[in-house]
């Protein structure tokens, strides 16, 4: 059909892709992947990263629960609430040596570090090393319902007690 060939123009041969076309497509694809990845990283950077920490205060109970000599540990909040002769006070349960969590030994009326052997009396004073400092005293207050509230984030002066 040579007469139809002229009507629609010359017959076009299909080109086979060359090496240059192949590498051009690979390069354009790599640039597209890099652009998408950098967009994702940029969007992630713009999203705020907020660290929500648990509250440092907790309700320890009624002041009537803390008669002189009563020690109530709170392992979760790392604190001891102690009823003393002059009032109620709280001590940190974190050992001042290497940060281990101490335990109350009722048979010895002492607070002991199970890891390195430090011992503290019920006022937090070091009775046996290697702890270099006494246990910190924590703030104790009373809420509107009359319950004791211990704030593990506030260290107070040694000897300051809460008097109900």
Question: Do 72 and 118 share a structural domain?
Answer: yes
Q: Under a CB-based contact definition with an 8 Å cutoff, are residues 61 and 72 in contact?
A: yes
96 in a structural domain? yes
Max mean pLDDT range (1-15, 19-33, 41-55, 101-115): 19-33
Nearest to 149 by CA among 91, 83, 90, 72: 90
Question: Do 92 and 15 share a structural domain?
Answer: no
Rounded distance between C-alpha atoms, residue 103 and residue 13, angstroms: 88
The domain tally of the chain equals 2
> Rounded to an integer, what is the distance from CA 35 to the centroid of its chain?
35
121 in a structural domain? yes
- Asked if residue 5 has pLDDT above 70, the reply is no
Q: Which CATH number is 106's domain given? A: 2.102.10.10
Q: What is the band of 7 on the pLDDT scale with cuts at 50, 70, 90? A: low
Question: Where is pLDDT greater, at 34 or 75?
Answer: 34
Question: Do 144 and 90 share a structural domain?
Answer: yes
Question: Do 81 and 137 share a structural domain?
Answer: yes
pTM for the full model? 0.66
Which residues form the domain of 36? 2-46
Residue 56 pLDDT: 87
């Amino acid at each position: 059909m040579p007469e139809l060939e002229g009507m629609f123009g010359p017959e076009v041969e299909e080109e086979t892709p060359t090496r240059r076309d192949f590498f051009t497509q690979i390069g354009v694809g790599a640039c597209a992947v890099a652009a998408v990845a950098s967009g994702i990283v940029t969007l992630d950077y713009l999203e705020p990263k907020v660290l929500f920490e648990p509250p440092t205060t907790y309700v320890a109970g009624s002041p009537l629960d803390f008669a002189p000599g009563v020690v109530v540990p709170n392992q979760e909040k790392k604190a001891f609430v102690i009823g003393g002769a002059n009032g109620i006070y709280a001590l940190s349960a974190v050992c001042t040596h290497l940060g281990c969590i101490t335990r109350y030994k009722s048979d010895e009326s002492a607070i002991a570090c199970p890891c390195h052997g430090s011992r503290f009396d019920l006022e937090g004073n070091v009775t046996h090393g290697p702890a270099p400092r006494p246990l910190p005293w924590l703030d104790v207050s009373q809420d509107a319902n009359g319950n004791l509230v211990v704030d593990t984030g506030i260290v107070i002066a040694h000897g300051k007690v809460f008097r109900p």
